[in-house]
Structure 1
């Protein structure tokens, strides 16, 4: 598909991506979903290390730098800095009880949510080339003075995502600028910008998720999720 090919090439290309296996990020994650759940500073200034090939992310420095949290599809763990397992959630499910901020009140749920989100952020658009992901190009979208090309993606049950169906928007340079999907009972638009190069891979270093109106326009406040990537390393 032409748009997907353009997006992958603009982000570094499949050849470069297939030579990689790991990523390390220095980042902060916040927003009203976190503050309303009592976790305003839980993911501030943390290190995220993960696999580019399988769904796996480990966060170091959560809870004020005192603990680590690991996400894998079959288990979530909270550990001390020296590796002692403090809490575990086996066979986690994003459809945990409650909606909105209340769904993230438990730290295990928060680690699961951030693990899914950060892994998806870092692997897109390459993830859309997965053989089990079904993509379809949609008519262009006009936002302010910009025209963005769009892909609808349907993810298989074998991949844990924030929503099984999502719409991705790409600018004139084929860089991702927006991502629409359902989130904990809401419809949201996740904007991305300030793209930078890290080891041959182009990554948006700023992200912001906001609530969507039925007509596809965005409600400016509150900002549900705010992500800033300070540095990234791929190997």
Structure 2
């Protein structure tokens, strides 16, 4: 049987991905998570710009017209679109200590979570081949009449992410259909995150529809637990 990590990398276009250092995309990010944290629809219509090797990402507009966010794992900031820095926070993950699912966020909390999460999403599965990542195929999963192979991925400390171990569910076409994690900075919420409507951008397969649900103890998604809704209009690599 084909190594699952290699199958996933090939199906998503890893050879093409190696050619690029950045990307930008237009998207809408809404859902009950953002409302619960005090920022309903603040990311509803945004341009995302990503530096792939630098683990950097920005949203524009961010919280208001004329502003943009800046994210990398060790620093987040709010800048004007002209480049003037208004606020910044070093070691941003430490500012989530003791947070519960109901703890509100300020704008720099928002910049950190939305920054690392989207950097991860847009660089999955290609980052699995980077130094420090380890992968292991685990038992398959049956859902809605489909059998998905599953890849457990352990992340290195150098990559900010939801939780150190995550499980990726892979369809027969090699594309990722679901992702399970515990969102540590949101109080450890167990999450089942679904991906669909893949499109080809510059030879790379990107899911343009993402839906993240709270996950039941038996691994099924909660029917009324939809927390994050992401729709991607377009992506351009450079």
- Shorter-chain TM-score above 0.5: yes
Deviation at 1:202, TM superposition (A): 0.5
Match of 1:24 in 2: 24
Match of 1:209 in 2: 212
Distance in 2 separating the partners of 1:220 and 1:64: 33
Distance in 1 separating the partners of 2:81 and 2:227: 29
RMSD in angstroms over aligned alpha carbons? 1.4
Distance in 1 separating the partners of 2:132 and 2:6: 16
Aligned to 2:122, the other structure's residue is in SS state helix
C-alpha change, 1:95 and 1:172, in structure 2 (3 Å) is farther
Deviations 1:116-155 (A, max 9, x none): 1111001111111123111100111100111111000111
* Structure 2 runs not aligned, ≥5 long: none
Question: Does the CA contact (< 8 Å) of 2:95 and 2:109 recur in 1?
Answer: no
Partner residue of 1:197 out of 197, 200, 209: 200
Match of 2:181 in 1: 181
Match of 1:3 in 2: 4
Aligned to 1:188, the other structure's residue is in SS state strand
Deviations 1:45-68 (A, max 9, x none): 111111222310011112243310
Distance in 1 separating the partners of 2:203 and 2:137: 26
Distance in 2 separating the partners of 1:73 and 1:204: 24
Runs of 4+ in 1 over 3 A off after TM superposition: none
Distance in 2 separating the partners of 1:84 and 1:121: 28
C-alpha change, 1:95 and 1:147, in structure 2 (3 Å) is farther
Aligned to 2:92, the other structure's residue is in SS state coil
Distance in 2 separating the partners of 1:128 and 1:172: 19
Distance in 2 separating the partners of 1:118 and 1:65: 21
Match of 1:227 in 2: 230
Question: Does the CA contact (< 8 Å) of 2:63 and 2:107 recur in 1?
Answer: no
Deviation at 1:81, TM superposition (A): 2.1
Point out the more displaced range, 90-99 or 4-13: 90-99
Q: After TM superposition, list the pairs within 5 Å mapping 1:75-154 onto structure 2.
A: 75-93=75-93, 96-97=96-97, 98-103=99-104, 105-154=105-154
